[in-house]
Structure 1
Amino acid sequence: MEKCSRAAGPQFFLPHDAIRRPDSTTTQTRVVFDGSSKSQGQLSINEVLFTGPTVQPALLAVVVNFRMPKFVFNADAEKMFRQDSLLALRIYQLKTVTYGLASSPYQAARVLNKLAEDDGNNYPLAAPIVTKRFYVDDVLAGGDHLEEVAEACRQLQQLLARGGFTLRKWSANDAKVLQHTPCELWGTSTQTEIGRNTVTKALGLLWNPTTDQSGFQVPMFKDIDVVTKRIVVSEMSQLFDPLGLLGPVIISARIFVQGVWANLGVTWDEELPETESC
C-alpha cells in the first residue's frame, strides 16, 4: 500500500478489521476487507465490480479502478473519540490484490495462469502445477518418483519467483523432496521436526507428512438449550469434508436434516420438537 491524498471523483473506502489466527505459522494477524459494505441507499464496490469467469483457463481481463480500493487509517488511537481525530486520519490505497473484493479470486488465478503461459515452457514440470493444482493461495501436488517431485518443487519455486511470488509452509512426506527449498520456507523450522508426527492443514484437512495420512478435525459440539433447523445445519457443517470421504459417517445426520425439512414444517429459527432435538 502507499499513502495518498483524497482525489476528486468516485472513491470507495474499504471497511477492514484484523483477524487473529494464533495457529498460523506465517500470518498470525490478517487484515480482512469488506467489499460488500455499503452506505444507506448506495451500492457496494462488489456490486459494481465484474467478478470474471469462474473457470481458470478463460482469458478475460478485469480492470479495477486504481483509485477505488482505499482505506482510512487512524494514526493515533487515543484521538479516535476526540473532535480533532480527523487530523490523525491518513488515506492509503492498496497496490495488491485485495481479498474481500468480488474480482480478487479471479485476478489471483489469472495472474498464475499468465505466469505459466509466459514462462511455463522453461519449467515443464511446474507449469501444469500452477494451472491445475492451485486453490487460491494453496497448492497440492505430488508424483510417483522422488527425483521428479524434487525437481518439480525446484521448478515451481523458480517459476513463481519470475512473478515475485514466494511459496511458504512447504511440507512433504520425504525430506529429500525439500532439498532445494530453504529451511525458513518449510512448514516446520528444522529437518528434525519434519520427521516428527507433525500435522499440517491442507485445504482445511489435516495431513501428517510423516505417515502420509489425511485426517479430519472433529469439532467439539456444545450443549444447546434451544435446537433449531439453523443450528442443526450449522453444527453439521462444522465437520469439513470436501471430498465426501466421511459420507458413511455423516449420512445419518443428513437423513435427519432431510426429515426435519420434509416432515416438521418448522421455520429456520423455530425450536424443534423435543423428540427431534434430543
Structure 2
Amino acid sequence: MYRCVRVSEPDNYLQSILWRDKKGKELEDYKLDTVTYGTKPASFLFVRAMHQLAIYERDSFPAGSVALQQDFYVDDFISGGSSVGEAIEKMRQTSEILARGDFKLRKWCSSHSDFFKDVSDDDKEKYLKFGLAWDPATEKQLFSLSSLDPGSKASRRPVLATIARFYDPEGFLAQ
C-alpha cells in the first residue's frame, strides 16, 4: 500500500536517484513520486495518509473512520463487530474510505460465512498467522513449537529467537 501514497513537490527531491546506463554517459536525476517501501518514514507516511482520509470522510463513513484510526497495526486491519451486520458495515465503510485514496484492502477473514457474500475469492484469507495462528473455520487458536534448526549453529541470535517463540505463546495461553 505504500506505493499508493504520493510524495508531492517540493518533498519528492528527497527521494532522488542518480542514474546512468553506461560509464561515461551523463548522470540523470530521477525523482520518486510515491513512498518507497523500506525507507524509514514509509510506514509513518502510509499511516498518516490513511488517518487523513479517515478525518476527511468522518461524516460520510463514521464507523469506517473510527476503525481506520483505531484498528490498524502497521498495514493490517484487525477488527470485528458484535454482529455480522456490524462487521460487514465496518468492512464496507473502511473499504469505501480507502478506495478514495486508491488503497485496497485484501485478505478478509471471518469465522462467519455470511461475512463473505460480497467478497471475491481473491480477497479472502482462509488462515491467519500473527504470532499464533487462527483457523476461522473451526474458530480455534493453534499453537506449535519448533526447536532450533538442526543445521544451524547454536549462536546467540537463533537461541534467543527460539526462546521468544516459546515465551510469547505460552504467556498468551496461560491467561
Q: TM-score range by the shorter chain?
A: 0.7 to 0.9
> How far 1:223 sits from its partner (Å)?
3.4
When Rg is computed on C-alpha atoms for both structures, the one with the higher figure is 1
Q: 3-state DSSP class of the match of 1:122?
A: coil
Which residue matches 2:107?
169
Instruction: Determine whether 1:199 maps to 2:127.
Output: yes
Give me the TM-score of the superposition, normalised by structure 1. 0.50
Which residue matches 1:109?
47
Which residue matches 1:152?
90
Instruction: Determine whether 1:245 maps to 2:172.
Output: yes
Aligned 8 A contact 2:148 2:158 in 1? no
In structure 2, what residue type is equivalent to 1:66? N
For residues 196-219 of structure 1, give each alpha carbon's deviation from its aligned partner in whole angstroms, at most 9, with x where no partner exists: xx4232x44322110122224433
Task: Kindly indicate whether structure 1 or structure 2 has the higher relative contact order, using CA contacts under 8 Å at least 6 residues apart.
Answer: 2
Q: 3-state DSSP class of the match of 1:120?
A: coil
> How far 1:238 sits from its partner (Å)?
4.0
In structure 2, what residue type is equivalent to 1:199? Y
For residues 59-112 of structure 1, give each alpha carbon's deviation from its aligned partner in whole angstroms, at most 9, with x where no partner exists: xxxx9831232457898xxxxxxxx5676x986533222232222222121111
- CA change 1:114–1:218 in 2 (3 A) is same
Instruction: Determine whether 1:222 maps to 2:149.
Output: yes
In structure 2, what residue type is equivalent to 1:170? W
Which residue matches 1:123?
61
> How far 1:168 sits from its partner (Å)?
0.8
Which runs of no fewer than 5 residues in structure 2 stay unpaired? 1-8
Q: Kindly, what percent of the aligned residue pairs are identical? A: 27
Q: How does 1:1-278 map to 2 (within 5 A)?
A: 65-71=11-17, 84=22, 92-187=30-125, 198-201=126-129, 203-223=130-150, 227-239=154-166, 241=168, 244-246=171-173
Aligned 8 A contact 1:216 1:240 in 2? no
- CA change 1:156–1:243 in 2 (3 A) is farther
In structure 2, what residue type is equivalent to 1:208? D
- CA change 1:156–1:95 in 2 (3 A) is same
- CA change 1:181–1:199 in 2 (3 A) is closer
For residues 10-69 of structure 1, give each alpha carbon's deviation from its aligned partner in whole angstroms, at most 9, with x where no partner exists: xxxxxxxxxxxxxxxxxxxxxxxxxxxxxxxxxxxxxxxxxxxxxxxxxxxxx9831232
In structure 2, what residue type is equivalent to 1:207? W
Number of residue pairs the alignment of both structures matches: 166
More helix by share: 2
Q: Distance in 2 between matches of 1:216 and 1:74?
A: 51
Give me the TM-score of the superposition, normalised by structure 2. 0.75
Which runs of no fewer than 5 residues in structure 1 stay unpaired? 1-62, 76-83, 188-197, 249-278
For residues 138-192 of structure 1, give each alpha carbon's deviation from its aligned partner in whole angstroms, at most 9, with x where no partner exists: 01111121111111111111111111111011111112112233333222xxxxx
